[in-house]
Amino acid sequence: MTPLRQTMIQAMCQHGFSPRTQQIYLYVVTALARYYRPSPGQLKMDGHPPVGTGLASPP
């Protein structure tokens, strides 16, 4: 397991995300990585922080 994946899972658990939401988030980040090729930690979108580092807390 990569450090980014571990960090994402820990952050999602701390924020109380459901297991299904965690599964979907990880799936989407994996799909982005496959599409753009570099690792998800290196992806940046118009000045936003790398993917997975700024998880929002649920309402």
Task: Please write the tens of the pLDDT for every residue from 13-29.
Answer: 999 999 999 999 999 98
Residue 42 has pLDDT above 80, yes or no: no
Q: Kindly state the average pLDDT of the residues 41-45.
A: 64
pTM above 0.85, yes or no: no
The residues spanned by each domain of the chain are 3-38
Q: At what angle do helices 19-36 and 3-14 cross, to 10 degrees?
A: 150
Q: Kindly state the average pLDDT of the residues 1-9.
A: 86
Rg of the chain in Å (alpha carbons): 11
* pLDDT value for 58: 52
* pLDDT value for 33: 81
Q: Kindly state the average pLDDT of the residues 23-49.
A: 76
